[in-house]
Amino acid sequence: MIKASYKKYILNFKNPSGTSRGILRTKETWFIILEKEGKQGIGETGLFRGLSVDDVPQYEEKLKWVCAHINEGLEKLLSEVIDFPSIQFGLEQAFLSLKSKHKFDLFPSEFTQGKQGIPINGLVWMGDKKFMKTQIQEKLKTGFSCIKMKIGAINFDAEIDLLKSIRKEFSAKEIALRVDGNGAFSPNEALEKLEQLSQLEIHSIEQPIKQGQLQEMASLCEKTPLPIALDEELIGVFTSEEKKRIIETVKPQFIILKPSLVGGFSGSKEWIKFAENNHIDWWITSALESNIGLNAIAQFTYTLENKLPQGLGTGGLFTNNFKSPLEVKNGTLQYNNSKRWDAEII
């Protein structure tokens, strides 16, 4: 018999971080803890307030229910919490963790052995021009060859100037630039703005217009002068039929998968299957999880053998994150086995 419990944990940002959903100072997250015959399994249910489709008043109630029914088995539980993708993700991790030799070694590979790293993009947070420029210089200094910049926070012309200043110093061969629109453009101005961005040899733009406007997005993806990646568009889509319909209607150039928001490993794999069937590329992104969730996403991502830089966070944003073997080196996420896990709070 498995015994299950859950726990809430508040992560504190080192610096308040600007997103399209305002300034973040804390990030709430939850953990499912399983115990069986002296072994422990742990999974992070990375709820993202304001973005997750499962940000609902009965969230904790659902966690309670899951813990009470844990012995019904993973498959049954996943189908019962289909509209709680972050709980699906936490359950998948917790069951894998319980089964594994070491509770944080979910997908043993050359990555977890410390032999291979995962190329990642360096994330530049929203803020004023000076703050963003400082971050960009920092990322370049530490060996990133792919930078992702969130736009839509300051004046668009100022953002274009900032991107121009990077391009003056670094060609597209030296630095790949990704931008994240977070739905900031209106459908009738989007194409013109994409044309301006394309002159700067941008790798791709995430979610230029708000999700839920499928025909407008489809039209944009057809005419766009630079690749478009769907991100928020994938949130809250639960059935295989609906996933397939979105991919085939919109025909984006890329999709971006956040396991906490799209139903964990199985939800991500299903999106990947439909994307690849339609010759659409993809990458995986974390969503401000603690190092426990980030570790699970990184290990899973490595097994998929995708060569593009992934959008994996670095765990360094929080003052009270759990110590882990994860570290960033020369623009890659690596697993340093000389470092030990310290997650005693769980």
Active site members: 150, 258
Among 306, 314, 307, 305, smallest CA distance to 333 is for: 314
Give the torsion sign (CA, 142, 181, 234, 94).
positive
Contact status, residue 332 vs residue 120, Cβ threshold 8 Å: yes
Name 325's Cβ contacts closer than 8 Å, sequence gap at least 6. 114, 335, 336, 337, 338, 339, 340, 341
Among 83, 32, 98, smallest CA distance to 263 is for: 83
